[in-house]
Amino acid sequence: MDRELLGWIRPAGEGFIAVDLLGREASGVLDWLEAEELLDELGISYLADPYELLLDDGDWHRVRLAEVSPQEIRVKKDDWGDMSASQLFHSLPFPAPETLRRAVVEPPPR
């Protein structure tokens, strides 16, 4: 076990709710063991997924998570690995606002 933080478990009535590293509820009310297992299954790989950020102009922009902490979430405009691209960062509050969502990834054409 690498002891990597996977999220939190918070009390909810007679049970518990699993919370991911973005501060979002990852489950409904579960018992402790179920919440722990859910966080183990979730892992941290979702942090590497592409996301979309709704900007003030109403457009969704593809971003990648750069830093995640209980104080702040920083995202970076997805530059598709272009080393010469200028880096544009946005700071978001924690927990992640609704203006940040996982990107819909289209399957490649056949």
- DSSP codes of every residue in the chain: -------EEEEETTEEEEE-TTS-B-SSSB-HHHHHHHHHHH-SGGGGS-EEEE-TTS-EEEEEEEEE-SS-EEEEE--TT-TTSPP-EEEE-SSPPTTEEEPPPPPPP-
- pLDDT digit of tens for each residue in the chain (110 aa)? 566 789 999 999 999 999 999 999 999 999 999 999 999 999 999 999 999 999 999 999 999 999 999 999 999 999 887 777 888 999 999 999 999 999 987 766 66
Q: Are residues 53 and 26 in the same domain?
A: no
The structural domain count of the chain equals 2
* pLDDT score of 86: 83
Q: Are residues 28 and 55 in the same domain?
A: no
Residue 2, in any domain of the structure:
no
* pLDDT score of 107: 64
Q: Are residues 53 and 40 in the same domain?
A: no
Residue 1, in any domain of the structure:
no
User: The domain containing residue 38 runs over which residues?
Assistant: 8-44
